[in-house]
Amino acid sequence: MIRTILIHPDPRLKKLCEPVAEITPELRQLAADMLETMYDAPGVGLAAPQVGVTKRLIVMDCIKDGTPEPMALFNPQILWSSEDQSVYEEGCLSIPDIYNDITRPTAVQVRWMDVDGKVQERQFAGLWATCVQHEIDHLNGKLFIDYLGPLKRQMITRKMEKLKREMARE
Ligand code: K2U
Ligand code: ZN
């Protein structure tokens, strides 16, 4: 089912998420709901804290046109990051309509547990690398606006507070 995406500022988006001990049917359902919610947004990634679950689970599908490649990563860890950096104009489903250039390592090696409880390891590059780093930041309570200066971050936070007040009035 499509879940509600939390909007910044929200304390649940700033929490350090707990590792997943074992893959339960509920967690498999959560991963499925997160993918459905991500496609509906639309987005190319989504982290569990964004739907109010402070557990270390992210979903991604960065394929734009072609066969979708949905992925669910439990307890993702970055083992290696490239020296090379890339700039990408990032957005966030929890900070609607705000986009900023963010610089991150161009490629990362990631280890995670998949829905079958199997440990996987893969190197990500391009949008996949940007996305997996953006999502793992969410699991550590970090938003892409935390890389911006304090004034810009404060302006964006005020804008989101206004948006939430207007949404509450609807
Ligand atoms: O975590 C999220 O809020 C989902 C983001 C993930 C993301 C942000 C920046 C760069 C790559 C992934 C959503 O996908 S935001 C919508 C979007 C869609 C396509 C490309 C970039 C951002
Ligand atoms: Zn985000």
- Testing ligand 1's pocket by substitution, the residue of 108, 134, 146 carrying the most ligand atoms inside 8 A of its CB is 134
Distance from C-alpha of 116 to C-alpha of 24, rounded to nearest angstrom? 10
Q: DSSP state, 110?
A: E
pLDDT in tens, 8-24: 999 999 999 999 999 99
**Structural contact between residues 115 and 73, judged by C-beta atoms closer than 8 angstroms:** no
pLDDT in tens, 48-105: 999 999 999 999 999 989 999 999 999 999 999 999 999 999 999 999 999 999 999 9
User: Tell me, which fold does domain 11-169 have in CATH?
Assistant: Peptide Deformylase (3.90.45)
Pocket of ligand 1 (CB under 6 A): 43-47, 88, 90-94, 127, 130-131, 134-135, 138
Q: Is 36 in the active site?
A: no
**Stated pTM of the model:** 0.97
What are the sequence ranges of the domains in the chain?
A: 11-169
